[in-house]
Amino acid sequence: MSKTTFKELANEWMQHHKKFVKESTCSTYAAHLENHILPLLGEHTCDEITAECLQNSILQWLDNGRKDGTGCLAEKTVKDIVVILKACIKYGAKNGYLPYRDIDLAFPSKKGCHKKISIFSVREQKLITSAVSNSLSNKTGGILISLYTGIRIGELCALKWSDIDFLNKTISISKTLQRLYFKDEEGNGYTKISITPPKTTTSIREIPISSKLMKTLKKLCPDNCDSYVLTNTEKYIEPRTYRNFYGKFLHNLNIRKLKFHCLRHTFATMCIESGADYKTVSELLGHANTNITMNLYVHPSLEQKRKCVELLDRII
């Protein structure tokens, strides 16, 4: 019987596997191991990692898997975890830590765990745009950029003035900034800032700038085009810091403290409600296909649903 623990196996697999994946992917794997997999399975020996053991783990993550104990993990997150588990087991079998096993895992859908995506109301959008106009700065301007273009916070933090074409009125998205989590060979965790191309080729895109946003950007643009949009210097601001600023901004307006990503949700929803076609919105968001846009970011309002059902009155 193998005395090797699953934690030891997982750490060895991680050191081997990181040579073949992107830095951001490696960081995601390390976070899943640290936050979810090792707390549950780390002290088991490799021989104890059976199909039954893994099936019970899946059910536990789906039921109450959040690190803070406040609820379930999203189904996609658990599926990502299972991918890591299977890769570890395959590596372990190949290197003699455990026997080859045909692991057939059932993956039930977890009903009631999906969170409804929130968007800012028209009133809240007007309050935000008015507040930005009244206290215009690079930081407040960044909120308006996300609301008017739907770019992600990592893309915004990586944005430089050289990425903005004032002549053709476009913003070029070609990189993202994020703080990544890693583990060294001794198992010590650490983080670092990484500026890399987006995770998919479709995320590299050109976004037209509206006339209103163009006026705001012209007021903020400095002489140094190599400076970051959010700071007007060659020093970036990282997403965590900017989220804190954004939270205080909303608090001062006395409106709902929705996540920064909700600016993106709002942009997509308002585009659709204004009559934009799904393919165009999908490309503006940098999605691989329109299904992602429809499933994640387009949420008909109650008023739209009411108009839909009232169409029957014209027929019946």
Least confident of 17-31, 141-155, 169-183, 294-308: 294-308
The three-state (H, E, C) secondary structure of 39-90, written as one string: HHHCCCEHHHCCHHHHHHHHHHHHHHCCCCCCCCCCHHHHHHHHHHHHHHHH
What pLDDT, on a 0 to 100 scale, did the predictor assign at position 298?
Answer: 59
- Residue among 106, 148, 150 at smallest CA distance from 125: 148
User: Mean pLDDT of all residues in the chain?
Assistant: 89
The full set of domain ranges for the chain reads 6-94, 122-305
CA distance 273 to 166: 28
Residue scoring higher pLDDT (10 or 76): 10
Contact 88, 11 (CB under 8 A): no
Strand-pair partners of 181: 191
CA distance 30 to 212: 42
What pLDDT, on a 0 to 100 scale, did the predictor assign at position 115?
Answer: 62
Q: How does pLDDT run across 72-113, given as a tens digit for each residue?
A: 888 889 999 999 999 999 999 999 998 887 777 877 755 555
Helix or strand (DSSP H, E) at 208: strand 205-208
Strand-pair partners of 112: none
Whether residue 37 has pLDDT greater than 60: yes
List helix spans (H) across 150-238: 153-157, 211-220
Ramachandran sector of residue 104 (left: φ over 0; alpha: ψ -120 to 50; beta: rest): beta
CA distance 40 to 51: 15
CATH architecture of the domain formed by 122-305: Orthogonal Bundle (1.10)
Q: Helix 75-94 and helix 6-17: axis angle, to 10°?
A: 90
Alpha carbon distances (Å) from 17 to 45, 48, 187, 216: 21, 23, 15, 46
The CA-to-CA distance between both ends of the chain, in Å, stands at 73
Whether residue 39 has pLDDT greater than 90: yes
**Sheet of 205-208, strand order:** 164-165, 170-173, 205-208
CA distance 160 to 228: 4
- CATH class for the region spanning 6-94: mainly alpha
pTM for this prediction: 0.80
* Count of CB atoms situated within 10 Å of the CB of 66: 14
CA distance 5 to 273: 54
- Residue among 140, 309, 161 at smallest CA distance from 224: 161
What pLDDT, on a 0 to 100 scale, did the predictor assign at position 1?
Answer: 52
What pLDDT, on a 0 to 100 scale, did the predictor assign at position 2?
Answer: 67
Contact 117, 296 (CB under 8 A): yes
Question: Cα 165–197–240 angle (5° rounding)?
Answer: 90
pLDDT band at 184 (very low <50, low <70, confident <90, very high): confident
